[in-house]
Amino acid sequence: MSGEFDQAKGRAKKAVGDLTGDREMQAEGEADETSGKIKEKFDDAVDSVRDKLDKN
């Protein structure tokens, strides 16, 4: 869930940065969005391992 939140927060920051011309805000938004994607993939991997362990 936090991965999805970080992605949404990142998209919002990027949009604000685009509207205001604030490159730092745009970069923060991109970093937040990327961080969220990484968290989401990590959580998916953990869930997959747990599922496999539960089947054994």
pLDDT tens string, the chain, 56 residues long: the values are 789 999 999 999 999 999 999 999 999 999 999 999 999 999 999 999 999 999 87
Alpha carbons 47 and 34: distance in angstroms, whole number: 20
Q: What is the pLDDT of residue 2?
A: 87
Alpha carbons 21 and 46: distance in angstroms, whole number: 39
Token match 């969005």: residue? 33
Task: Centre a 10 Å sphere on the Cβ of residue 31 and count the other Cβ atoms it contains.
Answer: 14
Q: What is the pTM of this model?
A: 0.81
Return all residues near 7 (Cβ < 8 A) that are at least 6 apart: 32, 33, 36, 37, 40
